[in-house]
Amino acid sequence: MGESKLLRKLPTVKTLSRKQIKTTIYVKTSTPYISALKRIKKFLRDLPKSGSTYVVVLGMGKAIEKTLSLGCHFEQHLGKKVDVLTKSVELLDEVSVDDGDGDSIKDVDRETVLKKRTISGIELRIYP
Amino acid sequence: MSGGRKQLNKNQQFKRQKVRDARTIRAEAAGSNELSESGGMLKVQEFIGSREYEIRQLQTAMDKSKAASCTRVFQSLPRKLRRRTASHNVKRIPMRMRNRALREMLKSDQTTTSKSGKGKKHGLNAYQLYRAKMSARLLRLAGKCTSMKIALPADVTAANCNLRQKLRVLRKTLKPENRDSGRLLTNRTGSYDNMSVGALAPIPRGRVKYCKRQRHFTWLPTHIWHAKRSHMIKRWGFQVPWSPTQKCFKMAHRLGGSVAASDGALCMDSSFYGTMILRDLSGGDSEPLKELVSKLTNKRGVIRKYRDSKTWFEGFVHDISEESPVVLGEMDLLWIDFGTALIRLHPSIYTRVFEILLQKLPEGLQIEDCRYALGSITLKGAKSLVALSSILRSSGPSSSYQQLKRISRVTDTSNLPHRTMFAFNCVDPRHLSRPRRVHTSDVNGVPTTDDIVSLQNDFPLEEVTAVLKRLCTATERDQSYNNQQTLKELAKRRQALLSKTPNQHKNIIPYGSEDPSIPLLLAKRQQNKDWVIVLPWFWLLPFWHQLNRVSRIYHFGLRQQQQLNYENRKLYFPDDYPFTEVGYAENTYKGDALRSRWQKKPLSKRVNFEKIPGLHKDSVPAFDGEIGDAFTCDWKLLQLLRNGLTFLSEKPLKLVEVAKTSQFGPNGVREIQTVNDIFELHKDLNAVDQTLSDNPIKLSVPGTSSGEQQWQEPIQLSISQTALNVIPVSCTYIERGRPRDNARIYQIPAQDREHWQKVKNGIYRADGRLDHEIEHPVPSITDLIGFITSGAFHLGEGKGVAHGFIDAKTNDFQYVLIRNVGSTTYRMASIDIINI
């Protein structure tokens, strides 16, 4: 008998709003620091176009440290106003159900259920 | 006239002055009060103030000069909206700019296009006039037929029938006494269900005017729409959109890729994917059907997840007429109930699978060809669900539709459960005068994780099954065309609605009991990361038109599908499936095209593949240039080489035997004793037969260790007929560079491992930058382990990424070297096995 195991970690739930898409950056652990800096600068430059007042930088889990160091750079070196907000982020995990098929089938073919998990995240608001 | 500058007229002078004025940049007078009295010391406040002033002036000068150079209003439109005819016809210009455009057109005394009037009558001779009149008459009669709800007689649709005969038949059917005997349709639009049981369905009877053009290649329902906006290709019995006319490589990457920055969606009419339905007539829990599907999908399609829970299945279809299961290609499968299964296949393998199934069909089972009865639209990108929910309206209360509305604002498809499927009876989308998102009052707040969990837990299975059954029954599909309205009728109803309540703007014509309700399935495809809508063939066009009116929805073709599959690191059928018959043929086909293009070039302008110095560490007399065929992935060579090397590995490996003169054995067969002999054998085989029937490679089945290969006499035959096991890999470049199709994959030789380890860690120049000018050691011929089927620069990764196949027996699964065809540069790449 196979036991239930974690098959896939799902990303956060994102919703569509054009304004938000054009002003939000999600920082990953694999995002290079300089690339993130450049992208934020580009977003700040284009703020008048999108009609928003600040750029949002989001990071969760392992990426929090990198996100905060980005915030520090904008606050201290470039003298921008930066708001830091902490939040808890709800995530979903895809966990396989023990359906008695054993190890004979691939992971893709297993029945799954979604389980909720909460982790901490951080939001920076960088003003031009 | 004396020489010198040309005298400008008044208008030119004005223009020149305007530009000159715009470009002047003011600056504050130098030496104002920035410096202190004694000089040398800066007054910071004043200094900053005057720099600020300069920057502002520069900015305004840039803005002004931009405005001065713009002459006509339509030049300010974005590229997507520019029309060549906009300079003649104001209707091509957006409403808000039209007045200015008209003024400009009048100013330049330009001829404008007004309402399209009757074109000039050209002088026709008697015969030409007769022909023209006859074809006009044919169209009129055919139009009359459809509007009287009479199905076109069979003689009219046969494209080889002559014009006068067609006219005669039409007139006969229209006669009052014959009207009742003809087959009656249920609507005035000529829609009917085109399905056939146990045989391939005939090409749909389109409009009389375009019959002849569809003799060899069937049109999609959206053909005319697409032909105006896309490059089309004729393949697999269909005319398929290849790529939009406007450049869209980056747009496809931005909108269609699974990135958080996507704020639009891409859609494709994927009706050329064929659908067939397997049905057990006895009903109930059908064992023979289960067994058949099990064989077809190599036991995967009948797993509980797919059969009991009705999850959309994506996997391989196998040839059941063979002893051992041979992969034919990709397939989608959906169990409607235990006695019915819906199968979706690529058009290149559809007929093959259909005929195999027909032969092997057990007693009591029925196979229905719904190729021209069910159409489908594929959507990719963040806005797909928003766009869909703004054109779809359920015709009755439906919990599935409620679910769709609830999660319509979710952009990232990957966090929805695997079984995400919506099926409901839908209202004709043309009832909406323009697509509009569902009211926010219906949907309270932003969707949360709870909604997504409930999507899985509260799946309305019974309701969905009922709609799916409707979708899969011919009579029910025919029923859905009942009272399908023409645009005229709909416009009339809309007018009536507006005149009844003049001050209220109504976007939707209310759904009445007479109106058709369309069974519709919307399913998420987990692996392809897209959405598929399946609906009756003749309903596809209204949906398509409405969908394309949603903002930031663009269409795409096969080329973009290939690109997006590549970016998702997924294989694309048929180009990336060389282990299947169709994929292998595609490889040869593309190779032939490349070769003929190369041959057309003059000698001095093309790469000489025969002679490329410094390609490998060692050379053999058999060849002196590019390894294998330069225009394809030469799988035959890979098979011979890898099999030959396994065979030769029993003795110490020799590249070439210098002392020996004869390469042939006593019975006149080539001996295989050195590596050179393998390449000679490849040459021999190529000379004998260009078209090799058997596929030289096969997909390695993970978990089954093949054990020691047994070679039989004659060795040559054994080597060239044992298919090589390959595995699909995705390679990511570590250094700079860009892989191309057909690139060669080499393993890293044991003696050079240390060097490449250094390259991986990065070799830096004295100025701290990466050094790309290092001399790399070159691998040997025997290190060739595979080929790249699709390679390019990956915009998402910012690196070169390539997909290909390598010999499954390779020991080192971490790094490889990749070399483009015709070049001598080797690039190091890390490899991941693609799970399929």
Predicted local distance difference test score (pLDDT) of residue B729: 93
End residue of a domain, out of B520, B538, B568 = B568
**B14 assigned to some structural domain:** no
Q: How confident is the model at residue B562 (pLDDT cuts 50, 70, 90)?
A: very high
Tell me whether residues B414 and A114 touch, CB distance under 8 A. no
Predicted local distance difference test score (pLDDT) of residue B746: 93
Adjacent-strand bridge partners of B818? B745, B827
Asked if pLDDT for residue A1 goes beyond 60, the answer is no
Chain A: closest CA distance from residue B312 (Å): 11
Provide the CB-side half-sphere exposure for B792 (13 A, CA). 12
Question: Are B531 and B657 contained in the same domain?
Answer: no
Which residues, 6 or more positions from B552, have their beta carbon under 8 angstroms from its beta carbon? B255, B263, B264, B265, B383
Predicted local distance difference test score (pLDDT) of residue B703: 59
Asked if pLDDT for residue B35 goes beyond 70, the answer is no
Residues B408 and B788: their CA atoms lie apart, in Å, by 39
Tell me whether residues A101 and B303 touch, CB distance under 8 A. yes
Nearest to A15 among B305, B306, B446 (CB): B446
| List of chain B residues whose C-beta atoms are within 8 Å of the C-beta of residue A21 | 260-263, 382
- Region B568-597: mean pLDDT is 91
**B478 assigned to some structural domain:** yes
**B83 assigned to some structural domain:** no
Question: Are B248 and B366 contained in the same domain?
Answer: no
Find out whether the peptide bond into B613 is cis, omega within 30 degrees of 0.
Answer: no
Whether residue B634 contacts residue B594, with contact meaning beta carbons closer than 8 Å, is answered with no
| Nearest C-alpha in B relative to A23 | B261
**B123 assigned to some structural domain:** no
Asked if pLDDT for residue B659 goes beyond 80, the answer is no
State the complex-level ipTM: 0.90
Whether residue B517 contacts residue B427, with contact meaning beta carbons closer than 8 Å, is answered with yes
Tell me whether residues B447 and A11 touch, CB distance under 8 A. no
**B577 assigned to some structural domain:** no
- Region B811-829: mean pLDDT is 89
Whether residue B278 contacts residue B365, with contact meaning beta carbons closer than 8 Å, is answered with yes
Question: Are B709 and B784 contained in the same domain?
Answer: yes
Predicted local distance difference test score (pLDDT) of residue B598: 94
**B3 assigned to some structural domain:** no
Chain A: closest CA distance from residue B94 (Å): 21
Return the CATH number at B330: 3.30.70.1400
Tell me whether residues A15 and B304 touch, CB distance under 8 A. no
Chain A: closest CA distance from residue B635 (Å): 29
A7-21, B33-47, B135-149, B244-258: lowest mean pLDDT where? B33-47
**B580 assigned to some structural domain:** no
Listed as own residue / partner, the contacts of B220-226 with beta carbons closer than 8 Å and 24 or more positions apart are B220/B269, B220/B271, B220/B272, B220/B375, B221/B269, B221/B271, B221/B375, B221/B537, B221/B538, B221/B540, B221/B541, B221/B544, B222/B269, B222/B271, B222/B540, B222/B541, B222/B544, B225/B541, B225/B544, B225/B545, B225/B548, B226/B269, B226/B555
- Region A37-62: mean pLDDT is 92
Nearest to A13 among B263, B449, B456 (CB): B449
pLDDT, tens only, B644-654: 888 888 777 77
pLDDT, tens only, B727-757: 999 999 998 899 999 999 999 988 888 999 9
Q: How confident is the model at residue B263 (pLDDT cuts 50, 70, 90)?
A: confident
Question: Are B360 and B394 contained in the same domain?
Answer: no
| List of chain A residues whose C-beta atoms are within 8 Å of the C-beta of residue B410 | 13-16
Q: How confident is the model at residue A80 (pLDDT cuts 50, 70, 90)?
A: very high
Asked if pLDDT for residue B692 goes beyond 90, the answer is no
For chain B, the average pLDDT equals 86
Where do we find the tokens 């060389």? B578
Task: Tell which wins on pLDDT, B110 or A86.
Answer: A86
User: What percentage of residues in chain B have a pLDDT greater than 70?
Assistant: 92
- Region B559-577: mean pLDDT is 92
Residues B173 and B640: their CA atoms lie apart, in Å, by 66
Residue in B659, B698, B657, B702 with CA at minimum distance from that of residue B675: B657
Predicted local distance difference test score (pLDDT) of residue B301: 85
| Nearest C-alpha in B relative to A117 | B449
Tell me whether residues B305 and A114 touch, CB distance under 8 A. no
**B391 assigned to some structural domain:** yes
Return the CATH number at B246: 3.30.1360.120
Question: Are B414 and B278 contained in the same domain?
Answer: no
- Joined together, the tokens standing for residue B564 give 């997006």
- Tell how far CA B827 is from the center of its chain: 29
Question: Are B244 and B333 contained in the same domain?
Answer: no
Question: Are B748 and B723 contained in the same domain?
Answer: yes
Which domain does B348 fall in, by range?
274-372
Question: Are B764 and B672 contained in the same domain?
Answer: yes
Question: If you count residue pairs, one on A and one on B, with CB atoms under 8 Å apart, how many are there?
Answer: 74
Asked if pLDDT for residue B696 goes beyond 80, the answer is yes
Asked if pLDDT for residue B2 goes beyond 70, the answer is no
User: What percentage of residues in chain B have a pLDDT greater than 90?
Assistant: 35
Question: Are B632 and B771 contained in the same domain?
Answer: yes
Nearest to B452 among A13, A106, A111 (CB): A13
Question: Are B358 and B382 contained in the same domain?
Answer: no
End residue of a domain, out of B329, B344, B372 = B372
Predicted local distance difference test score (pLDDT) of residue B560: 94
Q: Could you tell me the pTM of the whole model?
A: 0.90
Which residues, 6 or more positions from B673, have their beta carbon under 8 angstroms from its beta carbon? B648, B654, B657
Number of domains in chain B: 3
Adjacent-strand bridge partners of A122? A59, A86
| List of chain A residues whose C-beta atoms are within 8 Å of the C-beta of residue B303 | 101, 105, 109
b/e map B88-125, b = 16+ CB within 10 Å: eebebbeeebeeebeebbeeeeeeeeeeeeeeeeeeee
pLDDT, tens only, B586-631: 998 999 999 999 999 999 999 999 888 888 888 888 788 888 889 9
Asked if pLDDT for residue B512 goes beyond 80, the answer is yes
| List of chain B residues whose C-beta atoms are within 8 Å of the C-beta of residue A112 | 417-418
- In chain A, what are the domains? 6-126 (3.30.110.20)
Question: Are B449 and B529 contained in the same domain?
Answer: yes
Asked if pLDDT for residue B801 goes beyond 50, the answer is yes
Question: Are B671 and B717 contained in the same domain?
Answer: yes
| List of chain B residues whose C-beta atoms are within 8 Å of the C-beta of residue A26 | 260
- Region B223-233: mean pLDDT is 94
Residues B187 and B332: their CA atoms lie apart, in Å, by 32
Predicted local distance difference test score (pLDDT) of residue B836: 77
